[in-house]
Structure 1
Amino acid sequence: MELLQPVPGGTNDTTPPTAPAGLTASGTTAGGTNLSWTASTDDVGVSGYDILRAPGATGGTFAQAGTSATTSFSDTGLTPSTTYRYQVRARDAAGNLSPVSDTVQVTTSGGGTTGACTATPTVQTQWGTGYVIQPLTVTNTSTSTINGWTVTFTLPAGHTLTGSWNATVTTSGQTVTARSMSFNGTLAPGAGTTSLGFQAGRPGGDTALPSGYACTSP
Structure 2
Amino acid sequence: MPASAGSRAAAAGLSRPCHHHCTPHTAGYTIVNSWQGGFQGEVKVTAGPSAITGWTVRWTFANGQTVSQTWNATISNSGAEYTARNVDYNGRLGAGASTSFGFLGSWNSTNTAPTLTCTPS
* Range class of TM-score, shorter chain: 0.7 to 0.9
Q: 1:173: which partner in 2?
A: 79
Q: Tell me how far apart the structure 2 counterparts of residues 176 and 145 of structure 1 sit (CA, whole Å).
A: 25
Matched residues, percent identical?
34
Query: How far 1:127 moved relative to its partner?
Result: 1.2
Q: Which has the higher contact order (CA 8 A, sep 6+)?
A: 2
Which of 121, 133, 153 lines up with 2:59 in the alignment? Answer: 153
Is there any run of 5+ residues in structure 1 with no aligned partner, and where?
1-107
Q: Tell me how far apart the structure 2 counterparts of residues 193 and 151 of structure 1 sit (CA, whole Å).
A: 12
Letter in 1 for 2:34: Q
Q: 1:56: which partner in 2?
A: none
- Give the structure-2-normalised TM-score: 0.78
Contact 1:147 1:185 in 2 (8 A): yes
Cα distance 1:147–1:116, how it changes in 2: closer, same or farther (>3 A)?
A: farther
Query: How far 1:208 moved relative to its partner?
Result: 2.2
Describe how 1:195-210 pairs up with structure 2 within 5 A: 196-203=101-108, 206-210=109-113
Letter in 1 for 2:60: T
| Correspondence 1:140 to 2:51 | no
Contact 1:112 1:119 in 2 (8 A): no
Contact 1:137 1:192 in 2 (8 A): yes
Q: 1:216: which partner in 2?
A: 119
Structure 1 runs of 4+ aligned residues shifted over 3 Å read none
Structure with greater helix percent: 2
Q: 1:184: which partner in 2?
A: 90
Is there any run of 5+ residues in structure 2 with no aligned partner, and where?
1-15
Describe how 1:85-100 pairs up with structure 2 within 5 A: none
- Give the structure-1-normalised TM-score: 0.45
Report how many aligned residue pairs link the two structures.
Answer: 107
Structure with greater strand percent: 1
Say what the alpha-carbon RMSD is for the aligned residues: 2.1
Higher Rg: 1
